[in-house]
Amino acid sequence: MIAKVVRDIPASGIRRFFDILATMKDVISLGVGEPDFPTPWQIREEAIYSIEKGWTTYTSNAGLIELREKIAETLCYKHNLLYNPLSEILITQGVSQGIDLALRAILNPGDEVLIPEPSYVSYKPCTLLAGGKPVAIPTLYEDRFKIRPKAISDAISDKTKAIILCYPNNPTGVSYTKDELLGLADLCKKNNLIVISDEIYEHLSYEQPHIPFASLETEKTIYLSGFSKGYAMTGWRVGYAAAKSDIISAMCKIQQYTILCPPTISQRAAISALSSNSWNEMKEEYEKRRNLMVSGLNSIGLECLLPDGAIFAFPSVKSSCLSSSEFAERLLFSEKVAVVPGDAFGECGEGFVRTCFAVKEDKIEESLIRIKRFLTKL
């Protein structure tokens, strides 16, 4: 009864561990990629006000025009990006839906999509569900998990249609300088690639200001961002896509037959979010936690690069002589610390685990004590 493409897609490597975690008590979870801050009051208050005013009807399939105008204004002010809010911006149910819509809008059966790995777990399944063929491009610890242009060139075939970029990256935290992005943009232009750029962590860039890929290559870039991470609005499910009108029109056509529109209340809350700088305070706190997590992991013998952004560290567990899954599972049952096996993000993630530092400092410190004790037992 089940479609082959669905049957063949593996369950999320992240969810498997959280199904186990849900049955346990007193676990320190470094696994879920979710801010531990509540949504700022200014944003929540706007949602409450919207309910009180009875603003609970459908919106345009493309989303509230007021929100699209505010996004266009923000992108222009922050990045000098010019998008027509009427035809070049689409409100989505988070970036996850934006990925799905973008792939379904551009792919014909058999089109190939380049996916640098380690990568977010949904990219491959969404490509398959859209009828495309995912082509993994491994990145290496020795290169700080950055994409090598030659690796992209070697992977391009006559069926290659697009590439998915994610920076700051989930799970590695890697980001890129302007020169590095210019090199990638030049390569994508020469090979006529559509670039689906997932920049949901753009507000959480610690080492350098974030540079949207669309500011370097606008014509064939689908710029995806949203409110989940920077504004602590994960459960509100609101994001956006910005691209040329033909792509946005195609994505909107799919949306009108599937979800109709994102939740009205969430959209009104997002308008308020764009008038807030609350993300800056959260970013400062995350940076402190990042430094604590990474220095602690290195001090107990788990080699770990300092992430440029996002809320994840990606330490090597090769010194334990365990696979990523074995390490994560034994750590969970032995010391009640939850991390995500690196191979959940692609084969080249084997030998690593993803830890999330969006938890209080005392929990980070306690988790490091437990991990050190676990390593000592080994």
Condensed to tens digits (0 to 9), the pLDDT of residues 145-199 reads 999 999 999 999 999 999 999 999 999 999 999 999 999 999 999 999 999 999 9
Q: What pLDDT does 213 receive? A: 97
Could you tell me the two tokens for 130? 């859209």
309 and 224 belong to one structural domain:
no
Model confidence at 10: pLDDT above 90: no
Among 242, 273, 304, the domain boundary falls at 273
pLDDT tens column, 334-375: 999 999 999 999 999 999 999 999 999 999 999 999 999 999
In eight-state DSSP terms, residue 316 is B
Q: Indicate whether 45 belongs to any domain.
A: no
Indicate which CATH number applies to the domain containing 331. 3.90.1150.10
Indicate the pLDDT class of residue 20, thresholds 50, 70 and 90.
confident
Query: How much is the pTM?
Result: 0.94
Domain boundary among 232, 247, 273: 273
24 vs 8, residue with greater confidence: 8
The C-alpha angle with vertex 240 and arms to 236 and 244, in degrees rounded to 5, equals 170
Q: What is the pLDDT of residue 281?
A: 86
Q: Give yes or no: residues 157 and 103 share one domain.
A: yes
The radius of gyration of the chain from alpha carbons, rounded to an integer in Å, stands at: 20
Q: Spell out the alpha helix ranges (H) of the chain.
A: 4-8, 13-21, 41-52, 65-79, 94-106, 123-129, 149-155, 178-190, 245-258, 264-273, 278-299, 324-335, 361-377
Same domain flag for 251 and 159: yes
Do both 214 and 66 map to the same domain? yes
Residues 261-308: tens digit of each pLDDT: 999 999 999 999 999 887 788 999 999 999 999 999 999 999 999 999
Same-domain status, 265 and 358: no
CATH number at residue 244: 3.40.640.10
Residue 151 corresponds to which tokens in the numbers above?
A: 């690796």
In total, how many domains does the chain have?
A: 2
pLDDT at 278: 79
How does DSSP assign 3-55, residue by residue?
-HHHHHSPPPHHHHHHHHHTT-SS-EE------SSPPPHHHHHHHHHHHHTT-
Q: Does residue 110 form part of some domain?
A: yes
pLDDT of residue 126: 97
Residue 11: inside a domain: yes
User: Is the peptide bond preceding residue 341 cis, with omega within 30 degrees of 0?
Assistant: no
The domain in which residue 71 lies consists of: 56-273
| Pairing assessment for the beta strands 28-29 and 337-338 based on DSSP bridges | parallel
Average pLDDT over residues 105-133: 97
